[in-house]
Structure 1
C-alpha cells in the first residue's frame, strides 16, 4: 500500500503533483504509463466501461503495478468499494465524498459552485476541469488558463488541473498539480 503522510492539520494528505487517470482510451498502455511516472505520483482508476467483475480485476492489477512505484491509488466509486478494494482514496463528485478521514478524498469540480460543494464535503483535493479542450468531453467549454487560476486561487483546498493537460501545457499554466489521461499515456 502506498504510504501517505498526513500533514499537521487533521484530514490533510500530502498530495502528489502528477496524476494519471484511467480511461477506456488508455487502458492498453496503463502499466507502461504507471512505470514511467515519477515515483510517488497519483493514479485515479475510473474504467467505467467494464462490468463490475472485470473492473475489479483490472483495478487490482493496476493497483499492484502502481504500488510498485509507490503511487497513490484512488478509485472512482463509493467509499465502501474503495476500502474493500484497498484503494488509498476515493474520487468523484462532492456528494459522494465520505465523511471520515480514512480515505484520501478527491472531488471533481467544473465551476465555483462545485468547488464550494467540495469544500463543504471535506475534500482533500479538487480536480478542476476542463482547463483546455479535451477528448473526454469534446463539447465542454474549457475554463482556459486565466479562469482556471481565478477559480483555483479562491479555495484553500489543493487544486489539480485536468483537461487537455500535457507536460508543455502544465508548464505554460504554471500550476503545481496536474492530471491527464492521454497526456500521460
Structure 2
C-alpha cells in the first residue's frame, strides 16, 4: 500500500493549484493535486514539506488535514493523506518540468483527474459541519430552528430528517425550507427516496442504510443527476463499500461516541473510526455524540468533519 502526501494549495483568489502528470508516468497527462509518496520513516508533515519544496519551490508554513482515503487501482493501491495548506512562502513553479495551473473550486468538477482525486474535489466542496434536523420536532419548530441555526453560522449543509412525518408532509416542509437554506448559501438534503427528494428540487438526498442496500441490490445506477448530492448513513465497513458502489458523494459513519438518541448502540471510538475512514474512499462525517469541540479530533482522524443534531442545531428557545 503506497502512502502519499497530497497538498491542496490555494492562492489569494481562492483558486486551487494543479499539476499535470508527465506523459510517461502512471496515468500520465491527467491533472492532479501536487504531492508524492512518503519515504521510509517519513511522516506526512515531513513528506508534504519535502515534496512541495522539491516539486514547487514552496515552503509549507502551516497545514491542516482535509481528508485521508484509500483508493484501489488495478495496478496498485494508495493511501492519500490530503493536507489543506493554510500558509506557505514562495510562488509555485514546476521545478520538475510539470505544467501548473490555478483552477477555481467551482470548475474542479470539469478537470480530468485520476479517479482517486475525485474524492478530494468532493471534500473541497463540502463544509466541515453537517447539520441534521431534530427527528421529533414539528414543522414549525424545524423552520424556526433552521433559521436560528443558519443565522448563527452553524452550517451550510443541512439534512432534513423527519422519519415520523408522512411523505407528503415531509416534502411540503422541504419546499418551505429550501428557499431559507438558499438565501443563507446553504444546501438542503432530504432523507427520503431519491425520486421524492428530486421532485421538490432538493440539493441532494440522504439515504438510510436500508435504502442504500436496496438500491445497490437492485443494481441501481447513481440515482441523482449531476450537480445534486448523494449521501448515506452507514455503520460499518460493509456500508462504506456499498456507498462507494453507488458513487455517494459522502457518508455519515456512526456512532463514534455514546449518544443519547441511540443509547443501546456500541460506540466505535476514534481508533476504529480512523481506520475505517482510511478505507472509505469518499468524505466521511463523524456522527454520534459530536460537539463542535470534537471537530479537530474528527479532522485528525481523517474525517471531512462532524455531523449532528444537538451538537450543531440551534434551538431558538
Give the alignment's TM-score, normalised by structure 2. Answer: 0.52
- The whole-number CA distance in structure 2 between the counterparts of 1:131 and 1:125 is 17
Task: For residue 161 of structure 1, report the CA deviation from its aligned partner.
Answer: 1.1
Counterpart residue number, 1:126: 251
Tell me the residue number matched to 2:221.
99
- Matched position secondary structure for 2:233: strand
Moved more, 96-105 or 160-169: 96-105
With over 3 angstroms needed to count, the CA separation of the structure-2 counterparts of 1:25 and 1:36, relative to structure 1, is: farther
- 1:115-137 per-residue CA deviation (whole Å, 9 max, x = no partner) reads 11111111111111111111221
Unpaired runs of 5+ residues, structure 2, are: 1-104
CA contact (8 A) 1:35 1:66 kept: no
C-alpha deviations, 1:99-149, integer Å up to 9, x for none?
245131101111111111111111111111111111221111111111111
Write the distance in 1 (CA, Å) between the matches of 2:154 and 2:170. Answer: 25
Higher strand share: 2
| Partner residue, 1:34 | 150
Count of aligned positions:
181
Are residue 117 (structure 1) and residue 245 (structure 2) matched?
no
TM-score (norm 1): 0.86
56-65 or 118-127, which deviates more = 56-65
Q: Distance in 2 between matches of 1:170 and 1:38?
A: 13
Contact 2:189 2:203 in 1 (8 A): yes
Q: SS state of the match for residue 24, structure 1?
A: coil
CA offset digits 1:12-63 (Å, max 9, x no partner): 6422221101123555223211322357x21011111212332222222222
Identify which of structures 1 and 2 has the higher relative contact order when contacts are C-alpha pairs closer than 8 Å and 6+ apart: 1
Corresponding residue number in structure 2 for 1:17: 128
Q: Who is 1:87 aligned against?
A: 202
Q: Is the 8 A contact 2:197 2:204 kept in 1?
A: yes
Q: Does 1:70 align with 2:195?
A: no
2:15 matched to which residue of 1?
none
Structure number with greater Rg is 2
